[in-house]
Amino acid sequence: MIKLSEPIRDSHVAVLAFFPVGAHAGPLLAVTRRLAAAAPSTIFSFFNTARSNASLFSDIDHPENIRVHDVADGVPEGTMPTGSPLEMVELFLEAAPRNFRREMAAAETEVGKKVTSMLTDAFFWFAADMAAEMKATWVAFWAGGANSLCAHLYTDLIRETIGVKDVRMEETLGFIPGMENYRVKDIPEEVVFEDLDSVFPKALYQMSLALPRASAVFISSFEDLEPTLTHNLRSKLKRFLNIAPLTLFSSTSTLVRDPHGCLAWMGKRSPASVAYISFGTVMEPPPAELVAIAQGLESSKVPFVWSLKEKNMVHLPKGFLDRTREQGIVVPWAPQVELLKHEATGVNVTHCGWNSVLESVSAGVPMIGRPILADNRLNGKAVEVVWKVGMMMDNGVFTKEGFEKCLHQVLVHDDGKTMKANAKKLKEKLQEDISRKGSSFENFKVLLHIITN
């Protein structure tokens, strides 16, 4: 049994964050902050792009033993990228190995200590060789759930089993323990359909080959959420750890950033009546679907808080904001965790990104899903079929009538009451898991021991 009070030798941990997707760097920083607080004599050098660092560290203090370092984003000087998420990812990954090596060497000189451990985003498959060269421990963080991690680790088996021609999209992945409820069509495109020689799919494939070399791989989750997959992944990796983020259960305080007054607005609504709508930081549904969402909200009369980027507000139907002024609010940013925990929230309308799903589960709030990319479809399938805490839009597309139907189903119909009850049970399991008797607490101690010794 590892005790948090055990003396920890002075160490230097290099934390390599993945910036282009907002869901990655934030959770990795949250874990780093917790590790740094538990190991005050250990230096944590946090490497990330200047823009991402500015966002992450803008309104929070961080422990003195976290040193923040900027890394180039990979965009060649004098070029003007299109700004598409995939292009930014590919440019970053192409340049990342040399950029991280250079900045880590500078950090070692600055700190006066060699890097003893590397804590990296799992996407950085090259960290396996880096750590071996530096005689450092490598620990990888997977920003999704056990379902998507399993899909990537079984890339070769999946391709061999389902083939590349005449693929039956509705066929299930029953040949992988724990994946019986998932279909071929739910898997990220990179696993099955894309050329493994192109930059991003190749990086993910290389990752699937490298992760078994890591001293540990951990995710933000809890063991009771996907127990069969957890058991499966433990057979594939040296150590596989579920660590539920404690931040999901921090109490709402006056310090919560809420520039548009969402929480005050929520305070005037009935319990479990409001639809909270957000699709993450990377992509939104296309304009026609934004119109369908607006039309469905207006005709259903359901109270709403909609977090929608300002640039996309031009797609809303003419007069929508005026006509629904008393019914709901549309804001460019909202305090999602606090809103989901609010008693007035009745449903989370989401793209089914892993962070959003976990935040809904931690709040006991059912979901309406419209998957957009990456692991979204796998998570959506889990929400609807595995955990039964929500439902997906028909054919994965918002229509006015389809959205109205889903809102009624979740907020009014008996099916919605069942979803709410199932969500409450998962919330209770998660709360138990992060207690001092739960596996997340023990798993965190294991992670701390691996990183700092």
Where do the H-state alpha helices sit in 237-343?
Answer: 262-266, 287-300, 320-323, 336-341
| HSE-up of residue 268 (Cα within 13 Å, Cβ side) | 11
Once rounded to an integer, what is the mean pLDDT over residues 384-388? 97
Which phi and psi (to 5°) does residue 410 adopt?
-80, -40
C-alpha 93/C-alpha 79 separation (Å) is 17
Residues 6 or more apart whose Cβ sits within 8 Å of residue 374: 144, 148, 188, 353
Task: Evaluate if residue 254 carries a pLDDT over 70.
Answer: no
- Whether 12-244+435-452 and 262-431 share one fold: the answer is yes
C-alpha 18/C-alpha 123 separation (Å) is 8
pLDDT interval class at 82 (50, 70, 90):
low
Model pLDDT for residues 146-198, shown as the tens digit of each residue: 999 999 999 999 988 987 666 788 889 999 999 999 999 999 988 887 777 77
Helix (H, G, I), strand (E, B) or coil at 218: strand
Q: What share of the chain is helix, strand, coil (3-state, %, to 5)?
A: 50, 15, 40
Q: Are 324 and 342 in contact (CB under 8 A)?
A: no
pLDDT interval class at 7 (50, 70, 90):
very low
**Higher pLDDT among residues 374 and 238, named by residue:** 238
Q: Are 139 and 34 in contact (CB under 8 A)?
A: no
Task: Evaluate if residue 6 carries a pLDDT over 70.
Answer: no
C-alpha 381/C-alpha 352 separation (Å) is 9
C-alpha 142/C-alpha 122 separation (Å) is 5
Model pLDDT for residues 44-78, shown as the tens digit of each residue: 999 988 888 887 777 667 788 999 999 887 777 66
Model pLDDT for residues 283-322, shown as the tens digit of each residue: 889 999 999 999 999 999 999 999 999 999 999 999 999 9
Please state the domain extents for the chain: 12-244+435-452, 262-431
C-alpha 116/C-alpha 14 separation (Å) is 8
C-alpha 406/C-alpha 413 separation (Å) is 10
**Higher pLDDT among residues 50 and 98, named by residue:** 98
Where do the H-state alpha helices sit in 174-223?
Answer: 189-192, 199-210
Q: How many CB atoms lie within 10 A of CB 72?
A: 18
pTM for the whole structure: 0.91
- Of the candidates 268, 261, 293, the one whose C-alpha atom is nearest the C-alpha of residue 343 is 268
Q: Which pLDDT score, from 0 to 100, does residue 96 have? A: 84
Helix (H, G, I), strand (E, B) or coil at 441: helix
CATH number for 12-244+435-452 (one of 3.30.70.260, 3.40.50.2000, 1.10.8.80, 3.20.20.10): it is 3.40.50.2000
Q: Looking at the annotation, which residues are catalytic?
A: 24, 121
C-alpha 356/C-alpha 32 separation (Å) is 20
CATH number of 262-431: 3.40.50.2000
Q: In what order do the strands lie in the sheet with 137-142?
A: 66-71, 43-49, 12-16, 117-121, 137-142, 216-219, 240-242
Task: Evaluate if residue 8 carries a pLDDT over 60.
Answer: no
